[in-house]
Amino acid sequence: MMELGTITPPRLSAPARLWMALGRIASPGSALVILAARLLTGAKNLKGKGMAVMAGRLSLVGPGTPRKLPSGRMIPAGVFSESDLSRRMNLELSAEELDASYLRRLGPRKDLAILLRGLWALALDRGPAEERADTDHFNLFGVIVNNSETDRILKTIESLAVSHPNMLIKMLPGGPAEPAPPTHVCFVNANNFNLALERPEYLKVLRGSDLVLPDGIGVKIGLQMAGGRLRKNLNGTDLLPHLSELFIRRDWPVFLLGATSEVLARAKANLEKRHPGIRVAGMHDGYFKAENEADLCEEINRSGAVALIIGMGTPRQEMWAARNAQRLQLPLVLSMGGLIDFLGEKNRRAPLWMRQAGLEWVFRLLQEPGRMWRRYIIGNPVFLLRVRKWVGKSSTPRKAR
């Protein structure tokens, strides 16, 4: 049995204890819910879970792992939990913190919300996952997308930067290394693919990028349609804390490019506050003329930054990075979409329950309906239709390189 580790579990209130007792009494009903969920979704991992609930080894809804309270009482793990939801939606969240949050708010409303989100997640993940291709890369529309866990992605980014000729030049000025275009890291969601399929020059940039990472529920569903399985949703906002740890550990300065001057200043302040020790070598807003690009690249080069984080929106940021690849003399360029706007508090992230349900796009739509309705209401179905057509012309996801 596991304890809550570094997070002290709360003492349950009287209503919470009553709710737990009712849950044990209602275990036959819980087993029927699990059976119905298995029949409707084909989820083989639910096999035997109903009997485990009846025997008291599991609860219908609960923490991700068995947890011991200060009173000594054990709370069994749940068939449905916030940890399981995050895993199914390929989110990078702490299971320990999620369980602590669950225990602090234990009650019927919380359990019902987790159950409904869990059933929705099963529906999105419908089908035998064990029969899907589990590859390190997958190919959608000729774009090779990396399909690794977070730790492996970070090691890949670190390795690409360390071995890059521009890094060697920084370490050994005047040495034998010749300048080379930076390693370009991109993120792709359903909208990126829609834009790329309508703009051949953008599709060419994505196909030529050094590292392309999957972002969003649309790519997850599209990959399932193609017979594959997404290991991790690697959007830039969730990856930033891990990247920041890498930059701090390596003492690699960063340069921020994008947004308005006001938003950019807040983004810098928040980045330094949330990740003490990170060095922002310079920054520039995203509003500049084409004739000033050479001067901007020179400013970035002079800053001494190892990584350039671009947040100018897609496809502008990827096209800019590709167009100026020969001018930039740093090892790493990361095209990260709305990251600077999120950091600068212009836009807010969706609440956790929406992210766990794969509904972050709905939150973005509600924030900016006039700008986002076409992207999501029309764009998402169009993307899935394009995947279906593409799959019909090709095989299941192919291993790349």
DSSP track, 313-348: -TTHHHHHHHHTTTT--SSEEEE-TTHHHHHTTSS-
pLDDT at 30 over 60: yes
Residue 385, judged by CB atoms within 10 A of its CB (0-12, 13-18, 19+), counts as: exposed
pLDDT at 319: 97
- Does residue 224 sit in the same domain as residue 344? yes
Poorest-confidence range of 79-93, 179-193, 362-376? 79-93
Whether 283 is covered by a domain: the verdict is yes
Both 92 and 196 in one domain: the answer is no
Residue 162 shares a structural domain with residue 90: no
pLDDT in tens, 44-66: 677 777 777 777 788 888 888 88
Looking at 80, 107, 129, the residue that finishes a domain is 129
* Residue 100 pLDDT class (50, 70, 90 cuts): confident
Residue 204 has pLDDT above 80, yes or no: yes
| Domain assignment of residue 400, yes or no | no
Domain tally for the chain?
2
Contact 390, 133 (CB under 8 A): no
Average confidence score pLDDT of the chain: 84
Same domain for 156 and 112? no
Does residue 257 have a pLDDT over 60? yes
Q: What is d(CA 195, CA 272) in angstroms, rounded to the nearest whole number?
A: 33
pLDDT at residue 7 in the model: 46
Structural domain includes residue 1: no
pLDDT band for position 189 (cuts 50, 70, 90): very high
Handedness of CA 172, 174, 178, 181 (dihedral sign): positive
Looking at the fold, whether 42 and 62 belong to one and the same domain comes out as yes
Neighbouring-strand partners of residue 137: 146
Residues 80 and 144 in one domain: no
Do residue 315 and residue 366 come from a single domain? yes
- Of 129, 147, 176, the last residue of a domain is 129
Q: 141 and 124 share a domain?
A: no
Q: Which of the listed residues 129, 151, 168 is the one where a domain comes to its end?
A: 129
State the Cα–Cα distance between residues 262 and 260, nearest whole angstrom. 5
In the predicted model, what is the mean pLDDT of residues 149-178?
85
Tokens 């996952």 belong to residue: 129
Question: In terms of domains, do 277 and 258 share one?
Answer: yes
Q: Please state which of the ranges 71-75, 84-88, 142-146, 294-298 shows the lowest mean pLDDT.
A: 71-75
Q: Which residue has the higher pLDDT, 99 or 3?
A: 99
Whether 106 shows a pLDDT value over 80: the answer reads no
Q: Is residue 9 part of a domain?
A: no
pLDDT value at 398 more than 70: no
- Answer yes or no: is 347 within a domain: yes
Residue 254, pLDDT score? 98
pLDDT for 185 beyond 80: yes
Domain contains 398: no
Q: Give the pLDDT band (50/70/90) at residue 240.
A: very high
Average pLDDT over residues 136-163: 94
Q: Which of 56-60, 63-67, 131-135, 342-346 is predicted with the least confidence, judged by mean pLDDT?
A: 131-135
Please name every residue paired with 80 in a beta bridge, in sequence order, or none if there are none.
Answer: 61
Residue ranges making up the domain that contains 101: 14-129
pLDDT-wise least confident of 197-206, 252-261, 352-361: 352-361
Q: Do 9 and 69 touch, CB atoms closer than 8 A?
A: yes
Any domain includes 7: no
Residue 194 lies in a domain: yes
Q: Cα Rg for the chain, rounded, in angstroms?
A: 23
CA pair distance 106, 183, nearest whole angstrom = 47
- The verdict on 21 and 141 lying in the same domain is no
pLDDT at 363 over 50: yes
Based on the domain organization, do 112 and 90 belong to the same domain? yes
Say if residue 164 is in the same domain as residue 68.
no
List 173's β-bridge partners, or say none: none
* CA nearest to 233, candidates 125, 116, 324, 382: 125
